[in-house]
């Protein structure tokens, strides 16, 4: 089955790690439609990060079907890196920024990974992101010289730098106060409007779910409810 409107489609997906006794993700079927802000919620350990990694092509499922931009994903993990580098941006749960790189170097890192020959410079396209995120004056600083909110906005800039169709963000507001957390989510909504991106966000912060187009609630690796 192919669908262009779905960025990602999961059908009856199961996942376990080599040393896990039970399934970590059980029988999950969801569609991630383009230009949407989708939240994955639930208590610690229910499988939010695991599901996010499967959606963002950072890990593969064991059973079920995964389609990315209509293409069926093979679970041997082959050829995923190209599809991922061209289409997915990440904000990680931990290790947001690399401490001994400047803000500018951190932001440009995905381009360097994709093509080491790319000239290590900002262009107009990237500059417009920096302006929206209000971090254009911070480019020569190191991460320890930034506030938590600024660090998260830099991490968001890095996730956006290869113009991804899909951005997956794992607790992107985890260590922010409510005001800065709202700012990050509002910026995500801006990027959806302006650049036709899609965001999937794992979070504990239920206050933010009011901004979502869809909230997927997990318990013990299963979907317990979906609010649209």
Ligand X SMILES: Nc1ncnc2c1ncn2[C@@H]1O[C@H](COP(=O)(O)OP(=O)(O)OP(=O)(O)O)[C@@H](O)[C@H]1O
40-48, 123-131, 153-161, 220-228 -> range binding Mg ion (CB under 5 A) = 40-48
- 87 makes contact with ligand X (CB under 6 A): no
Instruction: For residue 145, report the phi and psi dihedrals to the nearest 5 degrees.
Output: -95, 10
Exposure string over 115-154, b if 16+ CB within 10 A, otherwise e: eeeeeeeeeeebeebbebbebeebbeebbeebeebbbbbb
Query: Residue 174 CB, nearest distance to Mg ion (Å)?
Result: 9
**Partner from Mg ion, ligand X, none contacting 44, C-beta within 5 to 8 A by type:** ligand X
Helices (runs of H) and strands (runs of E) counted in the chain: 6, 10
- 77 makes contact with ligand X (CB under 6 A): no
- 198 makes contact with ligand X (CB under 6 A): no
Nearer to ligand X, 27 or 105 (CB): 27
Q: How many residues bind Mg ion (CB under 5 A)?
A: 2
Query: Residue 6 CB, nearest distance to Mg ion (Å)?
Result: 24
| Interacting positions 1-60 with ligand X (CB under 6 A) | 17, 19-20, 24, 44-50
Task: Kindly give the residue spans of alpha helices, DSSP state H, lying in 10-161.
Answer: 48-55, 80-87, 103-114, 124-133, 148-160
Element (DSSP H or E) covering residue 180: helix 178-195
- 49 makes contact with Mg ion (CB under 5 A): yes
Nearer to ligand X, 20 or 81 (CB): 20
**Partner from ligand X, Mg ion, none contacting 175, C-beta within 5 to 8 A by type:** none
Query: Residue 16 CB, nearest distance to Mg ion (Å)?
Result: 16
Nearer to Mg ion, 43 or 77 (CB): 43
Query: Residue 54 CB, nearest distance to ligand X (Å)?
Result: 10
**Partner from ligand X, Mg ion, none contacting 47, C-beta within 5 to 8 A by type:** ligand X
Q: Which of 54, 66, 61, 64 is nearest to 16 (CA)?
A: 61
C-alpha 197/C-alpha 163 separation (Å) is 8
Element (DSSP H or E) covering residue 90: strand 88-91
Contact yes or no for 25/14 (Cβ under 8 A): yes
Which parts of this chain interact with Mg ion (CB under 5 A)?
Answer: 48-49
Binding positions for ligand X, rule: CB under 6 A? 17, 19-20, 24, 44-50, 93
């Amino acid at each position: 089955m192919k669908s262009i409107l779905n960025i990602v489609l999961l059908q009856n997906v199961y996942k376990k790690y080599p040393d896990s006794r039970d399934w970590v993700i059980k029988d999950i079927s969801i569609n991630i439609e383009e230009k949407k802000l989708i939240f994955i919620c639930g208590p610690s350990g229910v499988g939010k990060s695991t599901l996010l990694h499967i959606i963002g092509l950072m890990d593969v499922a064991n059973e079920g079907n995964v389609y990315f931009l209509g293409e069926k994903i093979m679970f041997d993990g082959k050829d995923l890196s190209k599809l991922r580098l061209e289409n997915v941006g990440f904000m990680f749960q931990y290790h947001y920024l690399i401490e001994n790189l400047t803000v500018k170097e951190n932001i440009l890192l995905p381009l360097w990974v994709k093509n080491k020959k790319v000239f290590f410079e900002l262009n107009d396209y990237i500059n417009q992101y920096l302006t929206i995120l209000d971090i254009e004056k911070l480019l020569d600083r190191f991460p320890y010289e930034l506030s938590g909110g600024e660090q998260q906005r830099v991490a968001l800039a890095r996730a956006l730098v290869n113009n991804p169709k899909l951005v997956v963000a794992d607790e992107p507001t985890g260590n922010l106060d409510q005001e800065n957390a709202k700012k990050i989510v509002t910026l995500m909504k801006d990027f959806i409007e302006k650049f036709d991106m899609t965001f999937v966000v794992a979070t504990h912060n239920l206050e933010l779910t009011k901004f979502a187009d869809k909230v997927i609630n997990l318990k013990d690796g299963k979907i317990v409810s979906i609010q649209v």
